[in-house]
Structure 1
């Protein structure tokens, strides 16, 4: 979709250049997906030259401008699984960015799922400096994040211990090629388990169990930690259906990781 109110594109862009009427431009797949008549200028981040993936001894830094195709080509099975959860063609994979998926904050965003499940931390840059926010706290609701005016998402850092841990993933949609209505990721951590609930809920919920729980403990945790009104209600699935699949998939993941 054309953004016919945009009169200027700044490339490359920097944090201090932001002003009202601006929008940060990454891949643009979400930005150009609907009318945005309030915008008058785009600040291009793709020309910033940030390395897509930076591997250190104990972490992997994923630039906000890293494309889905670049992440999928890495050697991490859980990253590939999350990339495959996109309702998108290979054309979108080569344009859409990890940061854009997080900042769009759609419940079905699989990069939100990946970062939440793996204890990812967002680096946020703004006019007043930088700050770090866990991915699980970065998205605050359906389409909303912690970003304030003038702030941008620079990168997501994931511990290698989480990225290479044993994991189990379950995804549910109303039809085979539909947008995720439920997406759960569980991973082993020491003697216990971490369970991230996304897509079914308006924001991520991460449940942590210090030891491997039994079925009852997991179901109680889901009931106590996720409010009844947190489940999404839209054309991609009713709350009751999403809640049911969340409970079903959580038990399947528990059994797989326990084995």
Structure 2
């Protein structure tokens, strides 16, 4: 879509002082999908030259400008158990064509903060941390679970942009289980749950996304016994946190969440048994 109120597209490094009417531009799949009458300048982050994927002692750093196709092509790295299967499952949850995969970015999916955003699911499930920066160079870090605050809302303040998301090394070595449900085979995610168990200490984490307006996590010292996880999820997600839209009613999303949670618990319990 043409944005007829935008008067300039400039490199982010030349943005200078942030102004009302500015927006950061990466893939632009959301920005150009509907009218943006309030925007007058787009500050292009794609020319900053950030490496898409960087392995560091902390884990895997994913640039905000990393495209979905670049992330989906990830390969195992020596001394790191990069969860390639989980990455590909989350990328496939877009249900988008290769054209979108080659343009849409990890950062854009996080910042749009749609409940069904699979990069939110990936980052939250693996205890990802968002690095936020201002044009002046100031920075701060937030867990993905705190970065996304609601349906379409984030912790970004005016002038801030997402520089990268880092997935910590310990989480990358965990066993994972993935479940996704929607109204139609090629429909938007109505519930997307990811569980993981730590191969070292046996701890268990379940992350609920898509059925809820923001990521919700449940942590246990070990894979919980039957019934315990279901009760924790039933009690731990208030009714108002479930999404209510044309892609699924809250009661149905809650049902899917409870079913998937138990399936994940069972799968990881079996895989953790010697």
Instruction: Give the TM interval when normalised to the shorter protein.
Output: over 0.9
CA deviation string 1:200-251 (max 9, x = no partner) = 0000001111121012211121123211110000010000000000000000
Describe the SS at the equivalent of 1:81.
helix
The alignment status of 1:245 with 2:256, answered yes or no, reads yes
Structure 1 counterpart of 2:175: 166
Q: Is there any run of 5+ residues in structure 1 with no aligned partner, and where?
A: none
How far apart, in 1, do the equivalents of 2:154 and 2:90 lie?
20
> Residue 144 in 1 paired to residue 156 in 2?
no
> Which of 215, 222, 230 pairs up with 2:241?
230
Alignment of structure 1 residues 172-251 onto 2, 5 Å: 172-189=181-198, 190-251=201-262
**Does structure 1 residue 120 correspond to structure 2 residue 131?**
no
- Counting matched residue pairs gives 259
Residue 115 of structure 2 is matched in structure 1 by 107
Per-residue deviation, residues 101-139 of structure 1 (Å, max 9, x unmatched): 000000000000000000000000024711000001110
Give the RMSD, CA atoms, in angstroms.
1.2
- Equivalent in the alignment of 2:50: 50
For 1:183 and 1:38, the matched residues in 2 are separated by 33
2:85 is aligned to 77
Worse overlay, 167-176 or 51-60: 51-60
Partner of 2:24, secondary structure, is strand
* Aligned equivalents of 1:7, 1:15: Cα separation in 2: 14
Change (3 A) 1:23 1:249: same
5+ residue gaps, structure 2:
76-83
Q: 1:132 to 1:23 in 2, by over 3 A?
A: same
Structure-1 separation of matches of 2:15 and 2:238? 36
C-alpha offsets along residues 34-57 of structure 1, whole Å, 9 cap, x if unaligned?
111000010000001000001123
Structure 1 residue 8 and structure 2 residue 19: aligned?
no
State the 4+ residue runs in structure 1 displaced beyond 4 angstroms.
none
| 2:103 alignment partner in structure 1 | 95
- TM-score normalised by the chain length of structure 2: 0.92
Distance 1:128 1:154, change over 3 A: closer
